[in-house]
Amino acid sequence: MAESTVKVLYDFDGDPDNGELSVRAGEELTVTAQDIGDGWWEARNSLGHQGLIPEAYVQLAEPPEPSFPPPPPPPAGPSAPPAHHYTSESSDDVNGFHDNQYNGGQGYDNHGQTLPQQSSQEGWDDDDWDDFDDQSSTSTAGHNNHDLQGQGNFGLSVAKREKISPTGVPGGENLSRYGTVRVSRFSNFAKAGGEAFLMGQATPPVHISEGDKVKIIETRDGPIWAATESYTCEIKSPKKESKLKGLKSFIAYQVIPSFSNIQVSRRYKHFDWLHERLKEKFICIPVPPLPDKAIAGRYEDDFINERMKQLQYWMDRMVRHPVISHCDTFNHFLTCTDEKKWKVGKRKAEKDEFVGFKFFYTLDTPRQPLDVRDVENKMETFQKFVKGMDDNVKNLISVFHDNRKRHTGPFKKEFSRIGGAFKEAATTFNMDIGSYSRDLTAAIDYTGDTYNQIGEMYAKQPEKDIDPMHDMLYEYKGILGVFPDVLKVHEGALSKARECVKLQEDGKMQENEVTNVIQQSDIISYGTMAEVQNFQRQRVADFKHTMHVYLSGQIEFYKEITKVRKRLTCGQV
């Protein structure tokens, strides 16, 4: 194919082991191949370096103006309708929700970068479900465009095409005090009946079963989700399988919930499907992103084990959530072993009545009306908290990434160099066979071994303390990336309620109508604040545990260094 020039939209730190090319926003590249597949192109930069880049990170450069005049215009057709005839889908609604879809999202890699992703298609039919291999799945996360760098969550890369706003920024027309928000979620939100829910124009469900109800209770710290029975879920035994006489291959994982101890086989695309269902249903809960996928090496043992580890982290977080862990869709994913029943449950989940705003019909909230100003102040404080924590997490990721590199690189190398130098000296001294030299030579040789040992200790230490910290930080980077969506939803509800109060003051809306709107807005506030409390409590538990692991690892490491030094002293150098 002919080469073409593209302009880079976002920073991307590629993984050289996967043949990926690192690029920076604004850079111009020459595309040498567009048939790589899975959302990847091959490109060459101005330095002549060549590698794979995500298709979604670049756009084709504008073609040059032709040197010949354009062809004559076609015959006049029907004139376009006037602007005031455009439907509501072509403009912003009162709450700032848009119908221009941006299938955003992000994951992250080992370096703390993020990338966009494409949501899975809704309403997959059963044949598609059976025949798609794992390459059809993607994952999600965050919101900051300038962070769209690097491969996916947990170092497993993927890239998919996304829609760009006229400003050149994904979702750029949807800015609020909570930052850039993915439009796709709010498009689904609006279509799910957001304004109808607030205005009482939607018909409430005739019956809500006890299993569908979600209780919120009031505490001195604020609303929280009512506690539910806890359980665990293990992901293990990844295995490469195939179908269609080997034409389709994939990795299957065994998923074993503790409440049944019955294992079910799930592929990555099953996790992807579950993620999409949860994200669509729980509009006030930030469903964290899945680990992303790589174009190369997806059947290599290291990749498979790493992705399984990250899927386990994701699953652990899901089963700890008091609402998600007990929803029917999640239970179906964990328990269904029969293929026919799986398809029936899959269709049922995709036709779930209580998704989007309709999820709020299932909330059993306290009867106490909320003080809107108090709610706004708390949410504004939390918004600042999210922004601050997002910055802190990114900084910690960068610091620990550099620290890990020093442990496995310069620290190990420096001690090994010293150890090697002593060993060489001992080899030379050993040429003198006199008894007066023997002890010194042995001690210097032992010193060389000791320094080599310390170097190895530095190289192996990150897996004991830095890596667990890294993994936890990446999880929170993903959660913090999607939280602005939830905050924007709540902001829109409060904005609509304020608008109705203003209409009442102007005599354009009845008091009882405004009261109903405020009551519906309170339901959304209760759900959002309950999730904020859940996030904060989980954050405290996670950071407390991970800090303990990290500091304990550091203490044990330096204890071992001290022991080595004592042994060195015994060498009587």
What sections of 150-212 are H helices per DSSP?
Answer: 183-191, 194-199
269 annotated binding-site participant:
yes
In angstroms, the CA 58 to CA 457 distance is 43
In angstroms, the CA 122 to CA 141 distance is 18
162, 170 contact by CB (below 8 A): yes
In angstroms, the CA 432 to CA 441 distance is 9
**How many Cα atoms are found within 13 Å in the side-chain-facing hemisphere of 166?**
2
What sections of 49-172 are H helices per DSSP?
Answer: 126-131
307 annotated binding-site participant:
yes
Count of CB atoms within 10 A of residue 516's CB?
A: 15
Pairing of strands 222-225, 233-243: unpaired
In angstroms, the CA 92 to CA 165 distance is 14
193, 202 contact by CB (below 8 A): yes
Q: What dihedral angle (degrees, nearest 10) is formed by the CA atoms of 540, 324, 384, 497? A: -140
144, 83 contact by CB (below 8 A): no
347 annotated binding-site participant:
no
In angstroms, the CA 423 to CA 419 distance is 6
Could you tell me the CA-to-CA distances from 316 to 114, 507, 534 in Å, in that order?
22, 52, 15
523, 414, 407: which is closest to 466 by C-alpha? 407
Q: From edge to edge, which strands make up the β-sheet containing 264-267? A: 233-243, 248-257, 264-267
In angstroms, the CA 497 to CA 519 distance is 9
In angstroms, the CA 163 to CA 119 distance is 12
406, 415 contact by CB (below 8 A): no
Secondary structure (3-state) at 519? helix
Annotated binding site: 267, 269, 307
